[in-house]
Structure 1
Amino acid sequence: MPADPRTPDPTASDARSGSGGRGDIAGRRRTALLSVGAAVVLVVLKLTTGLITGSLGLLAEAAHSGADLVAALLTLFAVSVAVKPPDEQHQFGHGKAEHLAALAESAFLILVSGWLATTAIERLSSPGSHEIDATWWAIAVILLVIAIDLTRMIASHRAAERFGSPALAANALHFAGDLSGSIAVLLGMIGVALGWPEADAVAALLVAVLVIAAAIRLLRGSIDVLMDRADQRSVIAVRQAVAAMERPADVRRLRTRHAAGRNFVDVVIAVRADAGLELAHARADEVEDAIEQALPNTDVVVHVEPVAREGGVRETATAAALRVARVHEVHNVDVLSLPGGGEEVTLHVKVAPELSLEEGHEIAERVEREIRGAVASVRGVTTHIEPLRPPTPARAVDEDDGEFERASVDAAVRQATGRGPSAIEMRDTERGRVVLVTILLPAGCTVGDAHREAGRIEEAVRERCPWLADVLVHTEPCPDPDPDR
């Protein structure tokens, strides 16, 4: 029996995409056309043989195949519609057309099977009221029908697995029911040939029960998808993917749905309020990539919500300033504790250099209002506006060209730390030469101690080379406490 079309595998690969390429579209249409052709042949065979022999089981199967013919035509139409790309009126695509077809198909099956079950019960309640001619050629026709049912069931099941199509999966499920019903009719015909006339009605009733059960199952699955019922396997896969990230995201809300082999995921994550737009967008991209790797062929929308960063007045004031439009950078944030309680905040804010003084002043006032609204204890805010500098052109300095500066840096670092620098790099800019130094300090020292050590080294280098435009000391932890290493 094929897999339940109500529960497609959310982790299926792109090869099973409900919106695949031209090969997928042609394959799905080819499978649907095969189903239509087979249904026509079966209706003719079953109806003709049933009318000649008087077999209710064959007539039941003919009606069943007739419903399947209508359903196959619906499937062909739905597949043609479902593969259309999103447009202005259908911005999420047309994938649900397949589920609408499956819903209509289940309704057809329930109606036809109800009529067959009623007729079968009437014949069982009136034994001998209908004569059945169980000839050898009728049995041969049923065997041919079984072969056709088996072939198209396998073809539809493989196509449904390959393309992730619920409509084709519904067809495969019905063809499996047809196969079971055809076997039941064969047994009923054999029973009639052996002298039990009621066997045909029993077979017809069994076919009706099988078809109704399959139709109800299909009906539930179609309703679940059309009502956007969440697939718990998708939810678990998304949460596991986010938790497995190098920096797991704080998921505040998660919504998933599935239609025509495609997953749709909406997730809300929390990001520090002072992260900035670019960093927040990069964080959303990381989450989106992780989900798409776990759930291929998924439409992912990540919404970012700012959260207050844990910390004191300085962190809150920084986050508040960065929320103001056209503020590019915030630095040198200081908090002054005033007598009698309360704080005063001073900070530097960088804006575009082409702004007028009036525009810059308006931005500064908005920053001050934003900080006062975020921190109730702040009595005053003083903002220093600076122009945002464009990237500075620079070139690397050759080893021979910076020999004196390198020797001076090496001496200053050895004097301060007892070991040589981990790296020395130099850049020539329009402002002058810039020295970049990397030093190793004990891993257990505090950030404050590391900052003071870096400051002393910068001063020592400037004393030896006062012409340098800038000296930047980068500190890294060294797990080896031996300074002679």
Structure 2
Amino acid sequence: MLKSMWGWARQGSGVIYPWDIIFVLRVILYLEGNGLSHEKQTVALSSVLAAIFLTGMKIVIGIYTGSLGILSEAAHSALDLGAAVITFFAVKISDKPADINHNYGHGKVESFSALIETLLLLVTCIWIIREAIQKLFFGGTLEISGSGWGIAVMLVSIIVDISRSRALKRAAQKYGSQALEADALHFGTDVWSSSVVIVGLIFVSLGDYLKLPFLHYADPITALGVCGIVIYVSLALGKRTIDVLLDAAPAGMPENIARIAQSVEGIKEVESVRIRPSGPTFFIDLQVGISKNESHRVVHALVENIQQQVQKEYPNSDVTVSTYPISPLEKEDREVYHTVKTIVDRFPKCTNIHNIHVFEISGKKRLAIHLEVKENLSLQESHNLSHEIGNLVQLSFADVEEVSVNFEYVKQQNIVAEDITADSQTLISEIDTLINRVPEKLNCHDVRVYRQGEKLTLFLHCELSGNYGTETIEKISNGISQRIRKLVSNVDDVFIHVEPMS
């Protein structure tokens, strides 16, 4: 077993370095489990240990040589260490599955950790700039000793940085991890910044050899070069991180998803595409229009087709498709609804548009709008609100002659109910008998009975055989609901979910 653990522990970096005590920690992770999340955590942990080694080495040699370039790199590595620690815990937390309080999972923890890394990098820049300006313009010491040691340290640093950057980049691409990508970017830029420091130390050595003290200025100048690289990386990383935290969709992705959905035969239009990045996962919501004459089975198949096509293009995606019926009538009717909805949404008292009827008489239109409100309005209040909404609607349409607005008070409440399904088997049997008499072939495989006070609420989950349109399904559901109410006098509501028979 120990032999297999040794082989597994070597997989991340390819070799075991003398300083690579990560082997011991990998064995611990192996004993905890051998899942994909542990592989991510192992790669992140290797970055922590590499950063500890590099930071300690640079501090010792930087103090010994007095090189600001090396000390600035030590500060850079110290903050890289902090960033690597944050990345390790971020990866560990982000792998937790979604729960009742975090419906979209914990993926944004990675983006938050990347933002902290950005801030740490900017703190590094402030310190480097201050020290470099002090040496260049305010008489700070420029004496550096042991440049050879400094060059050797930076060469070792470059070798380690290249090794870790490649390992992190592979893991980031494999798992779509923004935190690991940020860590890979850190180690990758360290390669360039270390190279800049080596150039500065070479100039310092030449200055000592050629007796040209002004070449010692190369050290603080190269330190400023390091700072420039760090600032550039910080701004790029910060922008991407903030975009993810603000749910910004990747450039071109909404248009591409809309194109994919529109290409599915039977989709009349794509109303909206919303994308919410969370770690490696994209949560995608689409609203698509389908002919109102399509059967329930066809609509179900179209939704599945869209989900499959989008997930083929974006494998790490969770796709939700909402459909709305499109009448074969003019597009103008939909524009009326959207305009009225925009106006109604301005009034907090209104909660929903129940329906809109458009009557066309002699080239002029009359609108009858039925709205739901969350307050029990007085006669004067409803009169004022009706006129205000009506006037705004008339101003929006040149051919609307009159607008009539009616209100319905809908109580907004959570109903406390008791599940009495287990004690209602007689009632459920009677409902099954009733449904079996319906001409259309139905199979209600799940019936739930809830009681609130003296009233009952029924939930029916039914399968329907045949290709019926939305209007027909609504008539069937209403017919069943009416028959149940005749059968049981104290039924308050009946909710029927219909799906194709498998």
TM-score category (smaller protein): 0.5 to 0.7
Aligned partners of 1:290 and 1:208: how far apart in 2?
45
Which residue of 2 is the match for residue 78 of structure 1?
Answer: 90
Aligned partners of 2:271 and 2:237: how far apart in 1?
34
Aligned partners of 1:320 and 1:225: how far apart in 2?
39
Equivalenced residues, count: 314
Provide, for residues 351-376 of structure 1, a one-character-per-residue CA deviation record: whole Å limited to 9, x for no partner: 569947957xxxxxxxxxxxxxxxxx
Aligned partners of 1:202 and 1:100: how far apart in 2?
33
TM-score using structure 2 length: 0.58
Query: Residues 305 and 320 from structure 1, CA distance in 2 versus in 1: closer, same or farther, beyond 3 angstroms?
Result: closer
Aligned partners of 1:261 and 1:280: how far apart in 2?
30
Query: Residues 274 and 47 from structure 1, CA distance in 2 versus in 1: closer, same or farther, beyond 3 angstroms?
Result: same
Aligned partners of 2:34 and 2:299: how far apart in 1?
37
Which residue of 2 is the match for residue 275 of structure 1?
Answer: 294
> Unpaired segments of 5 or more residues in structure 2?
1-32, 208-214, 331-467, 488-500
Q: Secondary structure at the match of 1:84?
A: coil
- Cα displacement (A) at 1:170: 0.6
Which residue of 2 is the match for residue 158 of structure 1?
Answer: 170
Q: Secondary structure at the match of 1:324?
A: helix
The reply to whether residue 108 of structure 1 matches residue 120 of structure 2 is yes
Query: Residues 353 and 236 from structure 1, CA distance in 2 versus in 1: closer, same or farther, beyond 3 angstroms?
Result: closer
Provide, for residues 372-401 of structure 1, a one-character-per-residue CA deviation record: whole Å limited to 9, x for no partner: xxxxxxxxxxxxxxxxxxx9xxxxxxxxxx
What are the within-5 Å matches in structure 2 for residues 114-129 of structure 1? 114-126=126-138, 129=141
The reply to whether residue 242 of structure 1 matches residue 261 of structure 2 is yes
Aligned partners of 2:313 and 2:119: how far apart in 1?
36
One-letter identity of the residue aligned with 2:325: P
Q: Secondary structure at the match of 1:229?
A: coil
Aligned partners of 2:469 and 2:266: how far apart in 1?
21
Q: Is the 8 A contact 2:264 2:302 kept in 1?
A: no
TM-score using structure 1 length: 0.60
Query: Residues 43 and 278 from structure 1, CA distance in 2 versus in 1: closer, same or farther, beyond 3 angstroms?
Result: same
What are the within-5 Å matches in structure 2 for residues 19-38 of structure 1? 23-38=35-50
Q: Is the 8 A contact 1:271 1:280 kept in 2?
A: yes
Q: Secondary structure at the match of 1:94?
A: coil
One-letter identity of the residue aligned with 2:474: V
Q: Is the 8 A contact 1:265 1:299 kept in 2?
A: yes
Which residue of 1 is the match for residue 148 of structure 2?
Answer: 136
Aligned partners of 1:54 and 1:179: how far apart in 2?
21
- Cα displacement (A) at 1:150: 1.4
> Unpaired segments of 5 or more residues in structure 1?
1-20, 312-317, 329-350, 360-390, 392-485
Max radius of gyration: which structure? 1
Q: Secondary structure at the match of 2:129?
A: helix
Aligned partners of 1:108 and 1:353: how far apart in 2?
63
Which residue of 2 is the match for residue 266 of structure 1?
Answer: 285
What are the within-5 Å matches in structure 2 for residues 47-66 of structure 1? 47-66=59-78
One-letter identity of the residue aligned with 1:181: S
Q: Is the 8 A contact 2:62 2:70 kept in 1?
A: yes
- Cα displacement (A) at 1:107: 0.3
> Percent identity among equivalent residues?
34
Provide, for residues 269-296 of structure 1, a one-character-per-residue CA deviation record: whole Å limited to 9, x for no partner: 1123343444333322222122112211
The reply to whether residue 290 of structure 1 matches residue 334 of structure 2 is no
Which residue of 2 is the match for residue 401 of structure 1?
Answer: none
Which residue of 2 is the match for residue 305 of structure 1?
Answer: 324
Pairing partner for 1:212 from 214, 219, 231: 231
Pairing partner for 1:221 from 240, 247, 255: 240
Provide, for residues 16-43 of structure 1, a one-character-per-residue CA deviation record: whole Å limited to 9, x for no partner: xxxxx96431221111011001000001
Aligned partners of 1:279 and 1:112: how far apart in 2?
59
Q: Is the 8 A contact 1:249 1:287 kept in 2?
A: no
- Cα displacement (A) at 1:264: 1.4
- Cα displacement (A) at 1:246: 3.8
Q: Secondary structure at the match of 2:101?
A: coil
One-letter identity of the residue aligned with 2:472: L
